[in-house]
């Protein structure tokens, strides 16, 4: 749809998107679908206010933090971020898994860095020292302050929950019930032959992409581009619309496909898993299983303003998986990832230009993209900012 001036008074069809640009205002109403057409307004991909709203939405949700094995023993900790907020996950000496906001109550420094063993959480700036339960145990020179009350200055609490080999944290006091939706994912993984209880952490890789986080995840949600942009993937996996499965189940947007008959000729290391499955758990987690031996990649994608995103991927493999399989599967995955990064950065360049006001989704092949859009509008309302 061409941009229209909101002051024109032109009537809109019931099912259309209003995307109106005026000199000082962008109004983008909810994505609506009608028959086989769906408009995709580009305003929310360049709007810093919308990016802030989306960052706050993500902050209300559970976020994957670290492999459970990193905090399995009493006195181990792992420092990370929860939607941009520094958090530290710690197993206390009684064996209780805890998480705290990792910001010192003195002047705000990040208290714990990295991972490892600890008996206390000590800030490296002025040595305020907290117990593993977050309580402030010592603050040098505080005895010279008549009104200093350490009991009022614990590390702020975060919520923590383990699911198989994964630890999730939440800085919101009332995050949505992620574990219910993860349960559906667990059944899907088990059906493919991935036993969560046996997976071992392999490594974390971080990424930064010059594209809006939604563009990154919308690219993830469709394989319409696979035959065009991923020749290696398309040689290995079925990508035709009749063979490629798309499914919505609550907040889990999933796609799955099987190996092509000629997969063995590609040189990819085949194994007991004969399909690939790729799941987005809204708003920003992805869970990938590639063909071959038992594997799982968990990724978080986060907004860094309207036109950049960042995140990380943690890879897990079954205990019997060989180094050779890991090397070849990761190389395959990295090749697809590099192709995707180039694709989405070009999308951002296009939408940032302002030359076109809205795109157009194909509601068969891109229905998970439409579902993601609907989720965002239902969660945040339509994007409407001066």
Any contact of residue 340 with Fe ion (CB under 5 A)? yes
Q: Which of 267, 115, 234, 245 is nearest to 188 (CA)?
A: 245
Binding track, positions 87-116, relative to ligand FES; x by CB under 6 A? -----------------x-xx-x-------
**Helices vs strands, H then E, count in the chain:** 7, 23
DSSP H or E run through 329: helix 323-352
Token pair, residue 140, equals 């040098």
- 3 state DSSP class of 74: coil
Q: What is the radius of gyration, based on Cα positions, of the chain?
A: 23
By rule CB under 5 A, what string of x and - marks binding of each residue 282-321 to Fe ion?
A: ----------------------------------------
Query: Do 160 and 97 meet the contact criterion of CB atoms below 8 Å apart?
Result: yes
- Taking the least distance from each CB to Fe ion, the nearer of 142 and 341 is 341
Pick between residue 137 and residue 225 the one whose CB is nearest to Fe ion. Answer: 225
Strand order in the sheet with 384-385: 19-21, 26-28, 384-385
Q: How many residues does the chain have?
A: 386
Question: Where would I find the beta strands (DSSP E) of 184-251?
Answer: 200-209, 245-249
Whichever of 7 and 152 has its CB closer to ligand FES, that residue is 152
243 interacts with, out of ligand FES, Fe ion, none, CB within 5 to 8 A per kind:
none
Minimum Å gap between C-beta 199 and ligand FES is: 36
128 binds, among Fe ion, ligand FES, none (CB under 5 to 8 A by kind): ligand FES
Quick one: which of 5, 125, 187, 228 contacts ligand FES (CB under 6 A)?
125
**Minimum separation from the CB atom of position 320 to Fe ion (A):** 29
Which residue has its beta carbon closest to Fe ion?
A: 340
The stretch among 96-104, 251-259, 303-311, 338-346 that binds Fe ion (CB under 5 A) is 338-346
Query: Nearest distance from residue 98's CB to Fe ion, in Å?
Result: 38
Residue 21 belongs to what H/E stretch?
Answer: strand 19-21
Please state the separation of Cα 139 from the chain's center in Å.
37
Closest CA relative to residue 43, chosen from 288, 359, 320: 359
Judged by beta carbon, residue 36 or residue 143, the one nearer ligand FES is: 143
Q: How many residues bind Fe ion (CB under 5 A)?
A: 1
Query: In this structure, what token pair is assigned to residue 253?
Result: 């947007």
Tell me the window of 103-111, 173-181, 204-212, 339-347 that interacts with Fe ion (CB under 5 A).
Answer: 339-347
* Residues near ligand FES, by CB under 6 A: 104, 106-107, 109, 123, 125-128
* Residues near Fe ion, by CB under 5 A: 340
């Amino acid at each position: 749809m061409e941009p229209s001036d909101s002051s024109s008074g032109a009537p809109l069809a019931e099912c259309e998107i209003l995307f109106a640009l005026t000199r000082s205002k962008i109004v983008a109403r909810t994505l609506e679908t009608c028959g086989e057409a769906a408009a995709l307004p580009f305003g929310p991909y360049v709007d810093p206010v919308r990016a802030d709203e989306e960052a706050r939405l993500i902050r209300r949700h559970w976020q994957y933090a670290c492999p459970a094995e990193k905090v399995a023993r009493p006195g181990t900790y792992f420092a990370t971020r929860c939607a941009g907020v520094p958090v530290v996950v710690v197993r206390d000496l009684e064996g209780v898994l805890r998480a705290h906001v990792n910001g010192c109550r003195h002047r705000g420094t990040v208290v714990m860095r990295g991972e490892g063993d600890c008996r206390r959480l000590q800030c490296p700036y002025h040595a305020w020292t907290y117990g593993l339960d977050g309580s402030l145990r010592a603050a040098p020179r505080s005895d010279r302050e008549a009104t200093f009350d350490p009991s009022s200055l614990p590390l702020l609490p975060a919520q923590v929950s383990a699911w198989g080999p994964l630890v999730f944290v939440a800085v919101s006091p009332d995050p949505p019930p992620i574990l219910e939706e993860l349960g559906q994912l667990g059944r899907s993984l088990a059906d493919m032959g991935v036993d969560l209880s046996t997976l071992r952490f392999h490594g974390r890789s971080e990424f930064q992409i010059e594209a809006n986080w939604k563009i990154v995840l919308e690219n993830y949600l469709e394989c319409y581009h696979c035959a065009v942009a991923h020749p290696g993937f398309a040689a290995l996996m079925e990508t035709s619309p009749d063979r490629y499965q798309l499914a919505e189940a609550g907040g889990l947007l999933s796609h799955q496909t099987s190996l092509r008959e000629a997969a063995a000729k590609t040189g990819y290391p085949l194994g007991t898993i004969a399909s690939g499955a790729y799941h987005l758990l809204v708003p920003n987690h992805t869970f990938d299983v590639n063909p071959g031996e038992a594997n799982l990649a968990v990724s978080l994608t986060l907004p860094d303003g309207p036109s950049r995103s960042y995140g990380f991927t943690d890879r897990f493999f079954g205990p019997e998986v060989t180094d050779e399989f890991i090397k070849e599967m990761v190389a395959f995955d990295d090749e697809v990832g590099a192709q995707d990064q180039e694709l989405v950065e070009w999308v951002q360049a296009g939408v940032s230009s302002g030359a076109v006001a809205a795109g157009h989704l194909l509601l068969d092949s891109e229905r998970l993209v439409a579902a993601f859009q609907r989720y965002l509008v239902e969660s945040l309302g339509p994007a409407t900012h001066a």
